Amino acid sequence: MSSASSPCMLMPSVDRYMTREPYSISSTSSLERARELMHRHQIRHLPVVDGERLVGVLSERDIDVFAAAPGIELAHVEVARVMSPPIDVWGETPLDEVSELMTQRRSDCVVVRGGHGLEGIFTAVDALSALSDLLRRATA
Q: What is the pLDDT of residue 9?
A: 59
Quickly list DSSP for 39-88: HHHT-SEEEEEETTEEEEEEEHHHHHHHHTSTT--GGGSBGGGT-B---E
- Model pLDDT for residues 15-47, shown as the tens digit of each residue: 999 999 999 999 999 999 999 999 999 999 999
- Going along the chain from its start, the domains and CATH numbers come out as 14-139 (3.10.580.10)
Using CA atoms, how far apart are residues 92 and 14, in angstroms rounded to an integer? 6
Q: Count of residues for the chain?
A: 140
- Model pLDDT for residues 64-102, shown as the tens digit of each residue: 999 999 999 999 999 999 999 999 999 999 999 999 999
pTM of the entire predicted model? 0.87
pLDDT of residue 8 exceeding 70, the answer is no
